[in-house]
Structure 1
Amino acid sequence: MTRLPSRFVEDRALRDAARAVIEEDIARIRASLGEQGVASRVSSSVSSSISGRVRAGASDVLEQAKRQASDHRGVLALLVGAIMLWLMRGPLLALVDRDEEEDAQDAQDEENGEDVGADADTGAEAARATEGDLQ
C-alpha cells in the first residue's frame, strides 16, 4: 500500500474529531427533544417573548398617555365631554324632538284660536306625567 501524506492524515484526524463532537451534540438534542417536543418548545418560547414585548409596550403607552393627559387637561376634558354626548345622543335627541312637537302643537293651537296660557301649560305637564307613567 502507498503511504499517505502527513497532511492528509492530520486532516482525517480533525474530521473524525469534529464528527465525534457533532454526534455528541445530536445525541444531546435528541435526549432534550424526548423530554419536551419541538412544538411545545417553540410555542412556549414565542408566547413568553411576545407577552413580554406586549407588556413592555403597554407600559410605555400608559406612561406616555399619563404624561400627555397631565399636559393637556383641557383637551382631555373636551374629549370626555364629546364621548359622553355621543353616548347620550339617543335620549338627548328624543328630548329635542319632544320639545319641537310641543312647540308645533302650541303654534297650531294659536292658529286655531285656542288659549295657550296657563291651561295649556298644565295640560302639557299632565301629558308629560302620562307619558312618564306609560314608560
Structure 2
Amino acid sequence: MSTRRARMIEDRHLRDSARALVEADIEHLKADFTHKTIAERAMDRVMDGASDLYDEAMDMAEDNKGALAALLAAVVVWFARNPIFELLGFTPEEQDEDDLAE
C-alpha cells in the first residue's frame, strides 16, 4: 500500500470518529432539551448566576470589611440625619415643608 493510500485511510478513520463524537453530542443535547422545559432551563441559569453573584459578593465583603463597615455607617447616618440634626440643635428648613405643601 502506498503512503498516500495509508494516509487516506487513516484520515477517513479520524473523520469517522470525529463525526461519531459530534453525533453523540447532538443526541446528548437533544435528550437534555426534552427533559427540561424552557422555563426550567432559564430558572436553572438564573439560580446559577445568582449563586455565583452571592459567592463573589461574600468574597468581596471578606476582603473589604473596613469599607463595608464605613458604607453601613454612612447609610445609618443618612437615615438618622434628621434626629441627629435636631439633637445638635439644627432645625430642618421650613422651606422644604412649604415646597411639599404646594
TM-score when normalising by structure 1:
0.42
Counterparts in 2 of 1:57 and 1:87: CA distance versus 1, 3 Å = farther
* Aligned twin of 1:36: 32
* Aligned twin of 2:59: 60
1:23 correspondence with 2:22: no
Q: What count of residue pairs does the alignment treat as equivalent? A: 81
| Mapped partners of 1:23, 1:62: distance in 2 | 48
| Mapped partners of 2:63, 2:6: distance in 1 | 63
* Aligned twin of 1:8: 4
CA RMSD in angstroms comes to 3.9
- Counterpart amino acid of residue 24 in structure 2: R
| Mapped partners of 1:36, 1:80: distance in 2 | 49
Counterparts in 2 of 1:46 and 1:6: CA distance versus 1, 3 Å = farther
* Aligned twin of 1:51: 50
Larger Rg over CA atoms: 1
Question: Which ranges in structure 2 are unaligned for 5 or more consecutive residues?
Answer: 86-90, 95-102
| Mapped partners of 1:34, 1:87: distance in 2 | 63
| Mapped partners of 1:30, 1:79: distance in 2 | 53
Provide, for residues 65-114 of structure 1, a one-character-per-residue CA deviation record: whole Å limited to 9, x for no partner: 54443xx6xxx3x763343115998xx63xx75xxxxxxxxxxxxxxxxx
| Mapped partners of 1:82, 1:45: distance in 2 | 37
| Mapped partners of 1:45, 1:80: distance in 2 | 35
Question: Which ranges in structure 1 are unaligned for 5 or more consecutive residues?
Answer: 98-135
